[in-house]
A and B are shown apart, each in its own frame.
Chain A
Amino acid sequence: AQSVTQLDSHVSVSEGTPVLLRCNYSSSYSPSLFWYVQHPNKGLQLLLKYTSAATLVKGINGFEAEFKKSETSFHLTKPSAHMSDAAEYFCVVNAGGFKTIFGAGTRLFVKA
């Protein structure tokens, strides 16, 4: 069985400060992991994906995530938040059976 847990439903940061969105996963197989972003009234967009190549994955808009097998984590980070980063972020796992599981989401607020 596989599952994904996003540890924070809401995260609030000031513009220019670092962003950390936390994700833990559970999988019986070696997983593929993704982060998607959803802006209001827009479709989900892929930020980055991990597919067992490099453990540190760089994505679009300055985001990156590190796969830590020992901690079963795939946290999303960005060194400096921008107002345009305010959105809902979803951690996603796909491990065997081609079934994709989304986390519940973390809403990121960015204060001026």
Chain B
Amino acid sequence: EAGVVQSPRYKIIEKKQPVAFWCNPISGHNTLYWYLQNLGQGPELLIRYENEEAVDDSQLPKDRFSAERLKGVDSTLKIQPAELGDSAVYLCASSLDRYALNEQFFGPGTRLTVL
């Protein structure tokens, strides 16, 4: 069975440009997470979805970041406009449901470089 799929794996853009990341979770997983991982740090949650509902987006910078999971399956994270400080790895993860017992399965991430 395929794991969590993310694309692209790498993205280089100039500041002020828009960028989008795509994630397809493991089939049957209701909960989807987007994390930001800066170099040398642990992942930080940006947003969590339960099916198509965003239930925790308190750490998402809403002035420039947006996300959607329209049909409760795959998801897109967008930044517009990108800033230099957005350079990081963006991780997507999924789990069966939201309960603490459940393991999160992570994709390989998208490494964003903003010039």
Contact = CB atoms under 8 A, between A and B. Distances in A.
Interface residues of A, number: 22
Nearest to A9: B40
Interface in A33-57: 34, 36, 41-46, 49, 51
B3 to A, nearest CB: 7
Nearest to B109: A43
Contacts of B108: 41-43
Contacts, number: 52
Contacts of B100: 31-32, 51, 94-95, 98
Interface residues of B, number: 25
From B56, B100, B104, name the one whose CB has the most chain A CB atoms within 10 angstroms: B100
A100 interface: yes
Given A32-B100, A43-B3, A102 B43 contact: yes
A28 B43 CA distance: 22
A99 B45 contact: yes
A41 B31 CA distance: 24
